[in-house]
């Protein structure tokens, strides 16, 4: 992982919080980016981003696991999400079409991590989310982008960007 002070732009977090920055992919051309605590964890040239749901699991300052799941291996996403422990921080940035992988069971797991929008993710949406295992209450860190009236790329939405300060104790 590369340290980059610009990875979490314009974020000075209070004590007891981690800065993060999430950026979904754009169309099927520009890949997503996931940064945590001023480190690039996944990006276009690093750590194998892929179409679908790119997910990172963090335990405090330690990156436990990261993975990109293409539509071909969506069953592995379910297994990956089941490993998430209470208070593990979960960071998500979509690329191309995340909806294909979001089965009812996968959506339910994300909802249990604090996602209030996961049931609304549709074809080609740009979705970014930060939550935690066992959260069971709504996370303030989530965004879906896709408005056919304003999409710059036809059916493809703009990048969804989200940054903030995630509490160290969830």
Give the model confidence (pLDDT) of 96-137 as tens digits: 888 888 999 999 999 999 999 999 999 888 999 999 998 878
pTM recorded for the entire structure:
0.88
| 168 backbone dihedrals φ, ψ, rounded to 5° | -65, -35
What whole-number distance in Å separates Cα of residue 39 and Cα of residue 75? 29
Give the model confidence (pLDDT) of 66-81 as tens digits: 776 554 456 678 888 8
Q: How far is CA 93 from CA 10, 14, 16, 22, 50, in A?
A: 20, 24, 24, 6, 10
- Per cent of the chain over pLDDT 70 is 85
Which residues make beta-bridge pairs with 57?
65, 90
């Amino acid at each position: 992982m590369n340290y980059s002070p610009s990875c979490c732009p314009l974020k000075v977090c209070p004590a007891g919080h981690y800065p993060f920055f999430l950026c979904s992919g754009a169309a099927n051309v520009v890949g997503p980016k996931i940064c945590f605590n001023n480190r690039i964890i996944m990006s276009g040239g690093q750590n194998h981003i892929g179409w679908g749901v790119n997910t990172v699991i963090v335990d405090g300052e330690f990156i436990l696991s990261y993975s990109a799941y293409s539509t071909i291996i969506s069953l592995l996403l379910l297994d990956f999400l089941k490993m998430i422990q209470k208070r593990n921080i979960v960071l998500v940035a979509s690329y191309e079409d995340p909806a294909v992988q979001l089965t009812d069971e996968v959506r339910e797991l994300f909802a249990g991590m604090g996602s209030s929008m996961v049931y609304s993710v549709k074809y080609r949406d740009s979705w970014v989310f930060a939550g935690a295992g066992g959260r069971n209450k709504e996370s303030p860190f989530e965004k879906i982008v896709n408005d056919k009236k304003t999409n710059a790329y036809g059916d493809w939405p703009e990048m969804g960007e989200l940054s903030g300060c995630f509490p160290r104790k969830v």
